[in-house]
Amino acid sequence: MANINRVTVSGRLARDPEVRTIREGLTVARIIIAVNDTTRSFKGEITEEVLYLECSVWNEDALKAQKYLSKGKAITVDGKLKQEWWKDKNSGADRTKLTLVAEKVVYMEKMNPLPTPEDKCEEMFEESSPFDN
């Protein structure tokens, strides 16, 4: 039997993407997707909880995430799970976490570029002066 490592998640960004450039000029965006999960107990009680899933988006997709995504935007991410291991600096205990490595990102809303600080500065100078006639 073949092993399959494929995950598709739809939700909303829990915060703005964190984008950085790492070795050899690679760009990575860290995004947190909030997914509402509704379950029904054996007694018929319905409970809802929010699952937060960390995703890494690479290169061109990372730059698009930086340009178009912000907290609350709806997206769907398709990719594979990756487990990371490290030692806690304070306790020395072994730690692990699962992350979703994005292979495809679908924007579920119309994506307009987010304003940059330069855009905001230009808008200030484009406004008419109170001294103009």
Integer Cα distance of 111 and 96 in angstroms = 34
Integer Cα distance of 18 and 25 in angstroms = 16
Q: Report the sign of the C-alpha dihedral through residues 72, 75, 76, 77, in that order.
A: negative
Integer Cα distance of 81 and 56 in angstroms = 10
Other CB atoms within 10 A of residue 119 CB: 10
Q: What is the pLDDT of residues 108-118, one digit of tens each?
A: 887 766 666 65
Task: Show Cβ contacts of residue 65 under 8 Å, excluding neighbours closer than 6 positions.
Answer: 17, 19, 29, 31, 57, 105
pTM here is: 0.74
CATH architecture, domain defined by 7-126: Beta Barrel (2.40)
pLDDT of residue 61: 92
For the chain, the structural domain boundaries read 7-126
Q: What is the pLDDT of residues 51-66, one digit of tens each?
A: 999 999 999 999 999 9
